[in-house]
Amino acid sequence: MAEEVKEQEELVNQNEFEKNEVEKKINKQIAKKQEKDSRLGFYNLFDYIKEEHKWETFLFLFIAIFVLDLGMLILTGALSIRDDFPVLGGHAPVVGWVLVVVGALAIVYSIWPFIKPAFPEIRKVTWLTMPKFLANAFRTFLFITIFVALFILYDALITGILAKILQ
Domain boundaries, the chain: 2-42, 53-124, 128-167
83 three-state secondary structure: coil
Q: 165, exposed or middle or buried, with CB in 10 Å at 0-12, 13-18, 19+?
A: exposed
What was the pLDDT predicted at 1?
63
pLDDT, tens digit (0-9, with 9 covering 90-100), for 68-113: 999 999 999 898 888 888 877 788 889 899 999 999 999 998 888 7
- Mean pLDDT calculated for residue range 151-158: 95
Cβ atoms of residues 107 and 68 within 8 Å: yes
pLDDT at residue 140 greater than cutoff 90: yes
For residue 64, count other CB atoms closer than 10 A to its CB. 20
CA distance 141 to 82: 52
What was the pLDDT predicted at 142?
97
- Mean pLDDT calculated for residue range 119-137: 92
For residue 44, count other CB atoms closer than 10 A to its CB. 13
pLDDT, tens digit (0-9, with 9 covering 90-100), for 1-57: 667 767 777 777 777 777 788 888 888 888 877 776 665 555 566 666 667 667 788
DSSP H helical ranges for the chain:
2-38, 41-50, 54-76, 92-115, 118-124, 130-166
* Rg (alpha carbons) of the chain, rounded to whole number: 34
What was the pLDDT predicted at 2?
66
Which residues, 6+ apart, have CB-to-CB distance to 88 below 8 Å?
A: 81, 95
What was the pLDDT predicted at 30?
84
